[in-house]
Amino acid sequence: MAKKKTIRSIPQERTPMREQDPQVRAKNFEEVACGYSLDDALRESERCLMCPDQPCVSGCPVGINIPGFIQKLGEKNLRGAYDILTDTNLLPSICGRVCPQENQCEGVCTVGDSLEAVAIGRLERFVGDTAIKEGWVNIPYIEPNRFRVGIVGSGPAGMACAADMAKAGCDVTVYEAFHQAGGVLKYGIPDFRLPNEVIDAEINNLKKFGVKFECNTLVGRLFTIEQMLDEMGFHAVFVGVGAGYPTMLNIPGDSLNGVLSANEMLTRCNLMRGRDFPNFDTPQPIGRRVAVVGAGNTAMDATRVSLRLGSEKVYCVYRRSRTEAPARAEEVHHAEQEGVEFHWLTAPVAVLDDGKGNVRGMRCVRMELGEPDDSGRRRPVPVAGSEFDFEADLIIYAIGTNANPIMGQTSKLKLNKWGYIGADENLATSVAGVFAGGDIVTGAATVIEAMGAGRKAARSMKAYLGIRDSALAYSGDGAGTLFGIDMHERNFARVRIA
């Protein structure tokens, strides 16, 4: 029998993960983090104490059985680890790369109380990547039912919902406005964080489940949500269209040539491959000196893409301090290593014109932190008389997004006062049979939260359609009922269990 693990008996140091050298990787779009080898993964899996509390499981927005998959991994049963992961999360290679683990599973890890937390994200990525390499895909026998489900948006929320509904036996179609599926994973997150091949591999897995992807389809305009339910034969619809309408600063010089939103810059580079212009036709504006306003994950992506596009100087301008910056810690760290210059507590005041309508620089003012605002973060206030100018020829705004207006314009869905789709705690909207989740409900958030919302909506949709869910505990079960059906009612043989 194995000796019981204690905090002193496990490897004390977190297994490092090989990364590309910062000076080298700042010039290429290959993945920064190279992933664990099998030995690395085995060693790191040793560090999990298999503690009884399992705070990591509740720390995960989708409740992955983390100790379970780590145990299988430790036994060198990689397929078994993949099986456990995909029970709750069909997209491990994506989550392992982009989840803010430090705020989720790793943030509450028991080992993290005294040492560095177990590198759960890296282990998840290792298992997911192995599955892709080996071509594993878990397709249990699924009894098809008669329900057709439509998913609007092929981003993380839509993909997660599609996965669950397909597993439940529904006929699932995912509609995407772009010419490629993947949503923000494709257009927003650059290849060096999340390669397009990984996204396409996960999409292919979904297709093996029978999920259909229809691109070049703008739901709301080509046909409405109401038409989907009334005319096109869908029984339930999930709306996961994201919140992509970019916020502009509304300072003088906003519309000069050389000012763009991070969304535009990243879409040109990542989705339209503007970085390979002219082999790809979409042009990519490249600045000698680039200033990115904002310090979220999108801002980090924009700064690091600018370095790789060949800019000499890349500045990150943020009106609060580093501790308030919303970006994932690893991204800020990587950006610093690669040579991005951070200007904390600095706010833009105007974009400066070169006289011909192009950007020549920016005027900023220094800030200091005052009282906390509604979000709990200390509000920045300008320091009088501290204005200064600096030279730049490309300004990128990465200061947040608002709700995309198309759903509101084209359907009867009730919106809240900021324009996001109103949804109750089961993610049901004001239109029967229509559910919504992700950024279009909550405002801009993370990929894993969107996936969590997609899964939650799937549970609600299954309940709405009357599909019994084997994962749920039905109230009253045990005393003559099974999955909420009275056992005396002998119809239960004809009920679909998913």
Q: Which position among 260, 307, 314, 335 is part of the footprint of another protein (CB under 8 A)?
A: 260
CB nearer another protein, residue 96 or residue 244: 244
Among 85, 98, 120, 272, binds another protein (CB under 8 A): 272
In the numeric block, which tokens belong to residue 183?
A: 């949503």
Question: Tokens representing 289?
Answer: 């000196």
* Residue with Cβ nearer another protein (66 or 177): 177
Closest CB to another protein among residues 198, 396: 396
Please say which residue, 279 or 491, places its beta carbon nearer to another protein: 279
CA atoms of 447 and 331, how far apart (whole Å):
15
Q: How many residues does the chain have?
A: 498
- For residue 245, give the amino acid letter: Y
Percent of residues in the chain assigned helix, strand, coil, to nearest 5: 35, 20, 45
Residue type, 284: Q
Residues 334-353, interacting with another protein (CB under 8 A): none
Piece of 221-229, 302-310, 441-449, 484-492 that binds another protein (CB under 8 A): 221-229
CA distance 456 to 157: 10
For another protein, the binding residue among 54, 71, 257, 442 (CB under 8 A) is: 257
Pick the closer one to another protein by CB: 282 or 337: 282
Site residues (CB under 8 A) for another protein, limited to 352-381: 357
Bridge partners of residue 378, in order along the sequence: 372
281 is a site residue for another protein (CB under 8 A): yes
43 binds another protein (CB under 8 A): no
Alpha helices in 371-434 (DSSP H): 406-410
Calpha distance 67→350 (Å, rounded): 52
d(CA 452, CA 483): 23
Q: CB of residue 275 vs another protein: minimum separation in angstroms? A: 13
Position among 16, 252, 372, 405 found at the interface with another protein (CB under 8 A): 405
Question: Per CB under 8 A, which region of 11-19, 212-220, 288-296, 483-491 contacts another protein?
Answer: 212-220
- Copy the structure tokens of residue 372: 């906390």
Name the token pair of 56. Answer: 């990591």
Per DSSP, what are the bridge partners of residue 175?
152, 214
- Residue number, 100 or 285, with CB nearest to another protein: 285
If you ran DSSP here, which 8-state letter would residue 296 be given? Answer: S
Q: Which of residues 168-187 bind another protein (CB under 8 A)?
A: 177-179, 187
CB of residue 181 to another protein, shortest distance in Å: 8
| C-beta of 281 vs 368, nearer to another protein | 281
Q: Which of 5, 43, 148, 273 binds another protein (CB under 8 A)?
A: 273
By the 10 Å C-beta count (0-12 exposed, 13-18 middle, 19+ buried), 461 is classed as buried
Place of tokens 């991005």: 340
- Please report whether residue 278 would count as binding another protein according to CB under 8 A: yes
* C-alpha–C-alpha distance, residues 328 and 285, integer Å: 26
171 Cβ partners below 8 Å, 6+ apart?
144, 147, 148, 149, 210
Contact status: 258 vs another protein (CB under 8 A): yes
Radius of gyration of the chain from its Cα atoms, rounded to whole angstroms: 24
Among 245, 342, 390, 483, binds another protein (CB under 8 A): 245
Only one of the segments 259-267, 313-321, 445-453, 455-463 lies at the binding site for another protein (rule: CB under 8 A); that segment is 259-267
Which of 267, 306, 429, 446 forms a contact with another protein (CB under 8 A)?
Answer: 267
| Size of the residue set binding another protein (CB under 8 A) | 46
DSSP letters of 136-203?
Answer: ----------S-EEEEE--SHHHHHHHHHHHHTT-EEEEE-SSSSS-THHHHTS-TTTS-HHHHHHHH
Q: For another protein, which stretch binds (CB under 8 A), given 81-89, 191-199, 239-247, 296-304?
A: 239-247
Nearest-approach distance from CB 180 to another protein, in angstroms = 8
Contact pick of 71, 77, 145, 217 for another protein (by CB under 8 A): 217
Instruction: List residues binding another protein (CB under 8 A).
Output: 177-179, 187, 212-218, 221-223, 242, 244-246, 248, 250, 254-255, 257-258, 260-261, 263-264, 267-268, 272-273, 277-283, 285, 357, 401, 404-406, 409
